[in-house]
Structure 1
Amino acid sequence: MNIPYLYDAGALIAIDNNDRRMWARHSLALEEGRDIHVPSVVVSQPWRDSRRQVLLGKFLTGCQVEPVGLEVAKAAGILCGKAGTADIVDATVVVMAASRGAIIWTSDPHDIRVLIDAQDIKPAPVIRTV
């Protein structure tokens, strides 16, 4: 069984910037048969122009872009309150990763760690830096 990955905006920005290390990680994950999740709200952070972001568009076809439902939205809001933060997108990443047992790929490990610590679940999601 492969542990799924969940990408935050940092992973998508790295791909949009044609970061070879991120492409290699993603390609290996696909070869391993990992499920790769991206909350739909995460796509909003780096997405600006479909004409310029062809690579990012292709990348997303290899991911499960998932809508954020009411219960996840509520849980993300509660988590922001517990952590004393305001970034609901990062909180959504943590909530969704925790529910899937996913490894979080992020460019903001500190921000994600604060949210994971506030969530206080065991085992906590693993963080990997882009």
Structure 2
Amino acid sequence: MNIPYLYDAGALIAIDNNDRRMWARHHLALEDGRDIHIPAVVVSQAWRDSRRQVRLGKFLTGCRIEPVRLETAEAAGILCGKARTSDVVDATVAVMAAGLGAIIWTSDPDDIHALIDAQDTKPAPVIRTV
């Protein structure tokens, strides 16, 4: 069984910028049979112009774009309160990753670590830097 990956906006921005390391990580994940999850709100953070972001659009078709359901939204809001932050998108990433048992790929490891610590989930999601 492969542990799924969950990408935050930093991973999507890296893909959009044609970052070779991120592309390599992604291809290896697919070769390993990992599921790739992206919260829909993360797409909102990274998406700006369909005409300019053709590469990102194609990339997203191979990922599982996850809707944010009421339970996740509530948990992310509670987590923001516990962590004393207002970044609901990062909180959503932390909540979804904990629920999936996923490895988080992020460009903001400090912010995600603070949320994971406040979440106090065992086992805590693993964080990797883009």
TM-score scaled by structure 2? 0.99
* CA displacement 1:23-57 (0-9 Å, x = unmatched): 00001111111000000000001101101101100
How many residue pairs match? The answer is 130
- Asked if 1:91 is matched to 2:83, the reply is no
Residues of 1 paired with 2:102 and 2:121: CA distance? 13
**Distance in 2 of aligned mates of 1:21 and 1:54:** 19
Unmatched tracts of structure 2, length 5 or more: none
**C-alpha separation between the residues in 2 aligned to 1:23 and 1:54?**
15
The equivalent of 2:25 in structure 1 is: 25
RMSD across aligned C-alpha pairs, in angstroms?
A: 0.4
Q: What are the residue-to-residue correspondences of 1:18-57 with 2, within 5 Å?
A: 18-57=18-57
1:36-115 equivalent positions in 2, closer than 5 A = 36-115=36-115
Amino acid across the alignment from 2:88: I
Q: CA deviation at 1:17?
A: 0.4
SS at 2:105 equivalent: strand
What TM-score, normalized to structure 1?
0.99
| C-alpha displacement of 1:106 | 0.0
Partner letter of residue 53 of structure 1?
A: Q
| Structure 1: gaps (5+ residues) | none
- 1:104 deviates by 0.1
- Give the distance between the partners of 1:67 and 1:110, measured in 2 at CA: 25
Report the Cα offset of residue 115 of structure 1.
0.1
Shift of 1:59: 0.8
SS in 2 for 1:93: helix
Consecutive aligned runs of 4 or more in structure 1 exceeding 3 Å deviation:
none
Deviation at 1:103, TM superposition (A): 0.1
Instruction: State the shift of 1:67 in Å.
Output: 0.5
